[in-house]
Amino acid sequence: MILVTGGAGFIGSNFVLDWLADHDEPVVNLDALTYAGNLNNLRPLEGDPRHIFVHGNIGDAALLSDLFTRHKPRAVVNFAAESHVDRSIHGPEDFIQTNILGTFRLLEAARAYWGGLENKSDFRFLHVSTDEVFGTLGADDPAFNEETSYRPNSPYSASKAASDHLVRAYFHTYGLPVVTTNCSNNYGPLHFPEKLIPLVIHNALKGRPLPIYGDGMQIRDWLYVKDHCSAIRRVLEAGRLGETYNIGGWNERANLHVVTTLCEVLDELQPRSDGKKYGEQIAFVADRPGHDRRYAIDARKIEAELGWRPAETFESGIRKTVRWYLDNADWVENVTSGSYRNWVEKQYA
């Protein structure tokens, strides 16, 4: 049994689906079902006894204690977080509550449970984090490696950095068997359409502007979500305790290039009915405050030590992603109803 937190969100639900496609080991999935969590993501597991969904908060100490006692997981994989940088700029409070205090409560509950285990060294606490904790790179700087200093620039990345430090401290102070992963930008199925790639696909199909912050020359390092999930599994299996592993697929791309590529794939797979090109919808808008210019992951440690490699290139992953959104219009319709309108949709109404 493993305990996954945030398993109804984008990466967590891909992780749970892939895990149960390959293993029979059951999953307890604890998720607060915020705007970003969606049980539809887990619909293929309806009625599957290997998946136990628990609606609850990682900040709820009593619930956590009960879950650990009842299910006796051999590992925790902590995805639960507030994850969107723009939202953290408009309202940082939830990021502090979940990403810092929530992770702290989860660590405390894990420590109490682990302290009572006979085979303490068999337990794992895997904390899923981000490359944003390292801050921004200049055009010629080497990519982030595991020795790069933390220099977070947004409330989101600062809250994730704090959680990473707590996880590290629980290893050094209490000996809790932890491992942390710092991954680059994910994309793929089940991605909530507030983030660049799914937002652009959604807006393109709705005939709305495709917003590019600033000059669009900011660089992100893109990884197909299923490759992130396979890397986490590999780290859970063989990662060294107390270590951190950077995860990325060597796919640095400027935002404008990403959006242009999406437009070209859409032009091919679902041409506009008026015969025009989706690229005509691109609109340069005001920049994000504190916008990091460049992220890039040096993935040599996980490749050399654990033999992990991504399966998708940027080009193959983007095609799969556009195809998925075209084939899953009902999923998009579902997640963009209700509270979504309060955030993204009102900007284009």
CB-wise, 164 or 278, nearer to ligand NAD? Answer: 164
Site for ligand NAD contains 36 (CB under 6 A): yes
> Which of ligand DAU, ligand NAD, none sits in contact with 6, Cβ below 5 to 8 A by type?
ligand NAD
Question: In a 3-state reduction of DSSP, which class is residue 320?
Answer: helix
8-state DSSP, 221: E
Minimum distance between the CB of residue 272 and ligand NAD, rounded to whole angstroms?
A: 28
Catalytic residue flag (residue 132) = yes
The DSSP code sequence of 261-309 is: HHHHHHHHHS--TTS--GGGGEEEEPPPTT---B--B--HHHHHHH---
CB-wise, 132 or 252, nearer to ligand DAU? Answer: 132
> Which of ligand NAD, ligand DAU, none sits in contact with 220, Cβ below 5 to 8 A by type?
ligand DAU
> Which of ligand DAU, ligand NAD, none sits in contact with 98, Cβ below 5 to 8 A by type?
ligand NAD
CB-wise, 234 or 281, nearer to ligand NAD? Answer: 234
What are the residues facing 180 on neighbouring strands?
Answer: 127, 244
Read off φ and ψ for residue 246, nearest 5 degrees. -80, 140
What are the residues facing 77 on neighbouring strands?
Answer: 4, 126
Joined together, the tokens standing for residue 141 give 């700087």
Joined together, the tokens standing for residue 231 give 């890397």
Site for ligand NAD contains 64 (CB under 6 A): no
Print burial letters for 268-305: b (CB count within 10 Å at least 16), e (below 16).
Answer: eebebeeeeebeebbeeeeeeeeebebbbbbbebbbee
> Which among 122-130, 165-173, 297-305, 318-326 is the span making contact with ligand NAD, rule CB under 6 A?
122-130
Token pair 């890039």 is at which residue? Answer: 296
Site for ligand NAD contains 185 (CB under 6 A): yes
Minimum distance between the CB of residue 214 and ligand DAU, rounded to whole angstroms?
A: 7
How many CB atoms neighbour CB 159 within 10 A?
A: 26
| Binding stretches for ligand NAD (CB under 6 A) | 5-6, 8-12, 30-34, 36-37, 57-59, 79-83, 98, 102, 128-130, 160, 183, 185-186, 192
The residues annotated as belonging to the active site are 131-132, 156
